[in-house]
Structure 1
Amino acid sequence: MFDELKKGTELSNSRLYEIFSLDKGSLSSEPGLMVGNAVAKIQSLYKIPVHLVNSTNKTFKFKRGTAIARIGSILEENLVSFEKEIKNANLEKKVETEVNVLPEHKEIVDTLISKNRDVFALKDSELGHTETVKMEIETGNHEPIKLKPYRTPLHKRSIVNKAIDEMLEAGIIRRSKSSWCSPIVIVKKKDNSNRFCTDVRKLNNITKSMSYPLPVIDDILALLDKAKYMTSLDMKSGFWQVLMSDKDREKTAFGCLIGLYEYNVMPFGLQNSPAVFSRLMEIVLEELPFAVAYIDDILIYSSTLDEHLSHIQQVFDRLRKHGLKLKLKKCQFLKNETNYLVSK
């Protein structure tokens, strides 16, 4: 499955590598010290993780340059199928623990999800990127707005660094040389976790507003009068699945302690983001009378079970066509009542 690499071989962060133990050398001669075989990707600064197992009470020290493991490149023909197997296994675990469905419908829903694995994203690096619409920021001839970064308290700097690293890795942001700059803030969510936010209020003040009406909630509820089965689907970081137009990426730039960055995708907080996403969902669900969207939440409603399963599949097919992905944990399948829109 792999070719062992020779010393001096340049590594690529787009490939998978297998780490395995030395046939002979410093580690193999030390009883109780072993290399944990693993598959890994290159991390930042061309580093690759190697896990050592020390089953003794001794402390081991090695000089820089000491060989501690062998590394092999997984062959190209095995790479796609191998990564797919990993994603499938991860999704199966999520299905077991996170799918919100009644026990009598579990087998049906498991089969449906299994058949449509590609419309679910388990992490931000797996997000879809639709080409159906793009986010533009119309500011006319206004001069670039450049604000000083807010001071980040010492205890929150690790939160900022982690968020930046994760967004860079997922392709959400990139380094910037923009003349624009908005500050960032870290805010507490309801569950007491932290959220990284860009303060784009000044940018919003000079942005041409887009008028796009959101659905009336009472109208949505009226559609459910005769529905016996309902499924609600939630996008995985929906706004981040809409690309920024190339000409307007620089306007999304934000500054922090570790540099200047800009968004490749539509950030949260822009005044026109809900309107753009609502327009996208109207296109996605066009001529599907059994499905309605409120920003990034989709509700599917039907009178019979067979009809409902067909309706869900049709929505999955539309999401696939438009390059969009769902968050499995937030989806609710085959319900006779729903909390759809409760938190809106």
Structure 2
Amino acid sequence: MSNDTTDLEVHFEQDMCLEESQDFEGDRDCDLSPDLLRMVKQEEKQILPHEEEIENIALEEGKVVKIVMRIAKKTKQDLVELLREFKDVFAWSYQDMSGLNTDIVVHRLLTREECKPVQQKLRRMRPDVMLKIKEEVKKQFDAGFLQVSGLPTLFPIPKKDGKVRMCVDYRDLNKASPMDNFPLPHIDTLVDNTAGYSLFSFIDGFLGYYQIKMHPEDIEKTIFITLWGTFCYKVMSFGLKNAGATYQRAMVTLFHDMMHKEIDVYEHIEVLKKLFLRLRKFQLKLNSAKCTFGARSGKLLGFVVSERGIEVDLNMVKAIQELLPPCTQKERAFDKVKQYLSNALVLSLPNPDRPLILYLTVFNNSMGYVLGQHDESG
């Protein structure tokens, strides 16, 4: 491995001279699959506090985390002390990630025997994009995520900060892989269990997929080609089928005894400490840029959750508000729907001491119903 590293370093140091004005014939946007586009969009999302001021707290030089400004002085002091005590559970670079133990989880790429490998050609790219890819490949190689391989195409996905996200075109590989049907959590359950508390901390893993290693037998299946050679992933790459199921399986393995209990019950500092101890034990790293601590409310999966309950995220209905109304007799009904969806209604949590009432609306060809409670407090 040391020889490969030396050769690669020399190859990278011999930089290619690429003029900005140079372009390739037939350069065009990548024909990304809808599934990959959805994964990219979802991966870029983060859970944010709702309309609250944030301040940066330095854990040490160059390493900061975000907390909400308007929290009780004692709570803030305890929270800052806790974050500094557990600063090692955060990652600020690839080198900060050691990866989850393979005894806990590895990603398998089982393929159907009748499916044969497919070799794809080197994709043409603009010179500026090629240089960004070269930089990212070198960073991932230095971090131990990649190894030199002895056939899929690389897709560069622009990021908001001007960098690129490396996405390999694994469509042929994914077609050959059976579906992993490990259950994912229901959105309504997550939202219901989160709402109703006075203090929230929103956390996110640092490049979570890269913290899970590939099974040694499946590493070669992740090969991709660049101008500087062919490489394969030693960690679970973005864009692989069943990667989400593998990640969810890992989270259940690590936190099964805390789910829907401590993780959702915010006796805040004590619970965060227990969570951080678990993260430290299994070396799962958090992304400080996407974590916020001590919030009173937050945006979660299209809703705003708070102690009051569950509200509509108005940004999610903005597109509906801006739709042009139809020029038909249904215009009035359409406007009513827009107005209803735009109102920031609050869904309160049910009170187990009060009776539930089933409301029905029945027509000849359809029926609607809602289960609710009377709330005298408004």
TM-score tier (shorter) = 0.5 to 0.7
Which of 89, 101, 108 matches 2:68? 101
Answer whether contact 1:198 1:269 (CA < 8 A) is retained.
yes
Aligned pairs for 1:52-67 (under 5 A) are: none
Answer whether contact 1:228 1:301 (CA < 8 A) is retained.
no
Indicate the residue corresponding to 2:140 in structure 1: 167
Deviation at 1:122, TM superposition (A): 0.9
Letter in 2 for 1:161: K
2:104 aligned with 1:137: no
Q: Deviations over 1:288-330 (max 9, x none)?
A: 14569xxxxxxx4335xxx211111111122222221001121
Letter in 1 for 2:286: L
Q: Whole-Å Cα distance in 2 between the matches of residues 231 and 217 of structure 1?
A: 18
Answer whether contact 1:285 1:291 (CA < 8 A) is retained.
no
SS at match of 1:268: coil
SS at match of 1:196: strand
Deviation at 1:108, TM superposition (A): 2.4
CA-atom RMSD in angstroms: 2.9
2:292 aligned with 1:329: no
Indicate the residue corresponding to 2:231 in structure 1: 261
Q: Whole-Å Cα distance in 2 between the matches of residues 259 and 267 of structure 1?
A: 18
2:95 aligned with 1:157: no
Which of 175, 178, 199 matches 1:208? 178
Deviation at 1:286, TM superposition (A): 1.1
Indicate the residue corresponding to 2:265 in structure 1: 302
Answer whether contact 1:228 1:302 (CA < 8 A) is retained.
no
Answer whether contact 1:229 1:301 (CA < 8 A) is retained.
no
Q: Which runs of 4+ in 1 moved over 4 A?
A: none
2:246 aligned with 1:276: yes
Indicate the residue corresponding to 1:249 in structure 2: 219
Deviation at 1:192, TM superposition (A): 4.6
Deviation at 1:341, TM superposition (A): 3.1
* TM-score (structure 2 length as normaliser): 0.60
Which of 260, 280, 285 matches 1:320? 280
Q: Whole-Å Cα distance in 1 between the matches of residues 85 and 160 of structure 2?
A: 34
Letter in 2 for 1:143: K
Aligned pairs for 1:22-37 (under 5 A) are: none
Indicate the residue corresponding to 2:60 in structure 1: 92
Letter in 1 for 2:231: Y
Question: What number of residue pairs does the alignment pair up?
Answer: 249
Q: Whole-Å Cα distance in 1 between the matches of residues 180 and 259 of structure 2?
A: 26
Deviation at 1:143, TM superposition (A): 2.1
Note closer, same or farther for the CA distance 1:308–1:188 as it changes in structure 2 (3 Å cut).
same
Answer whether contact 2:67 2:295 (CA < 8 A) is retained.
no
Answer whether contact 1:184 1:254 (CA < 8 A) is retained.
yes
Deviation at 1:44, TM superposition (A): 3.8
Deviation at 1:99, TM superposition (A): 1.5
Q: Deviations over 1:42-87 (max 9, x none)?
A: x945x9xxxxxxxxxxxxxxxxxxxxxxxxxxxxxxxxxxxxxxxx
Letter in 2 for 1:126: D
Letter in 2 for 1:301: D
* TM-score (structure 1 length as normaliser): 0.66
Deviation at 1:121, TM superposition (A): 0.8
Gaps of 5+ in 2: 13-57, 304-315, 317-378
SS at match of 1:186: strand
Letter in 2 for 1:154: P
Bigger mean CA offset, 230-239 vs 217-226:
217-226
Deviation at 1:338, TM superposition (A): 1.5
